[in-house]
């Protein structure tokens, strides 16, 4: 008898959280292009040189450079101790949603999922500083916060933020969601918060601010994934609340399991397909 899939991470008393900067921060960082940041730093240095003796004026820059060099050397000498490897799940892992009792079973991709992209695009040289941008961004952040607070109720599995890179000023932010079903997305779309955000956008008529979404319903046995030595991303950051009665209290599981299982070693295996590509019954 084949053993069930083995989880890579332990149960937690609440949904596991990962360091994730706000969407507004990502857009703001991109609005201030690298040359702008360099010029701002140069301007600050000029101002310091104009009011302080040269020895004191260059001290802040020298200290920052020294700190950066020392930190980099220490991290290179001991990679595991650096923040770059925080939350990294070593080895091969794949994302398989657990049942309510915390078991993963032996059948890959046994549940259908919904892949949902929600995006905002600032087609303006001022980016987040353009007219109406703050209000639209604020609605986005409020909706994200509301979804995370009610993730079990609304069937939310995970959220990831991404920057598009199709042009020099990458002022397009994409928030990727995974849901258990499309009904959950539709329910949230009919709620007051989303309607309020949509009404504001249509009434304001800021043509330089674009919004978009994509919905893809993926049936069971029609998706697969694998992560090797990765910090959890995309579906790998999902959190599933277990049945309180069976788990003995509030417990949350992650979907990451060991991908070295016989039923998970190949792409076709993770799709529940035979080696000829035909779906398994």
Domain annotation for the chain: domains and CATH numbers: 23-27+88-270 (3.30.70.100), 33-83 (no CATH)
pLDDT band for position 259 (50/70/90)? very high
108-129 pLDDT, tens per residue?
Answer: 999 999 999 999 888 888 877 8
- pLDDT at site 229: 95
- pLDDT at site 130: 86
53-67 pLDDT, tens per residue?
Answer: 888 888 888 888 898
Mean model confidence pLDDT for the chain? 87
208-218 pLDDT, tens per residue?
Answer: 999 999 999 99
C-alpha 48/C-alpha 60 separation (Å) is 10
pLDDT band for position 52 (50/70/90)? confident
Per-residue pLDDT, averaged over 255-264, amounts to: 94
- pLDDT at site 168: 63
pLDDT band for position 102 (50/70/90)? confident
């Amino acid at each position: 008898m084949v053993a069930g899939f083995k989880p890579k991470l332990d149960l937690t008393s609440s949904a596991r959280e990962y360091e994730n900067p706000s969407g507004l921060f990502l857009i703001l960082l991109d609005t201030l292009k690298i040359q702008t940041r360099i010029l701002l730093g140069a301007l600050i240095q000029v101002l310091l040189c104009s009011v302080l003796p040269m020895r004191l004026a260059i001290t802040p820059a020298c200290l920052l450079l020294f700190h950066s060099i020392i930190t980099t050397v220490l991290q290179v000498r001991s990679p595991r101790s650096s923040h770059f490897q925080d939350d990294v799940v070593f080895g091969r892992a794949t994302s398989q949603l657990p049942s309510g009792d915390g078991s993963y079973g032996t059948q890959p991709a046994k549940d259908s999922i919904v892949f949902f992209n929600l995006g905002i695009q600032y087609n303006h040289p001022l980016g987040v500083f353009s007219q109406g941008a703050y209000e639209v961004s604020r609605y986005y952040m409020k909706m994200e916060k509301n979804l995370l607070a009610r993730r079990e109720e609304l069937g939310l599995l995970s959220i990831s933020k991404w920057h598009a890179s199709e042009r020099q000023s990458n002022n397009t932010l994409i928030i990727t969601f995974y849901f258990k079903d499309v009904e959950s997305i539709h329910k949230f779309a009919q709620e007051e918060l989303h309607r309020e955000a949509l009404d504001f956008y249509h009434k304001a008529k800021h043509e330089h601010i674009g919004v978009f979404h994509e919905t893809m319903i993926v049936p069971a046995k029609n998706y697969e994934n694998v992560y090797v030595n990765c910090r959890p991303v995309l579906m790998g950051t999902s959190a599933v609340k277990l049945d309180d009665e069976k788990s003995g209290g509030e417990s949350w599981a992650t979907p990451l399991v060991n991908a070295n299982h016989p039923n998970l070693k190949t792409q076709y295996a993770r799709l529940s397909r035979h080696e000829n590509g035909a779906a398994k019954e």
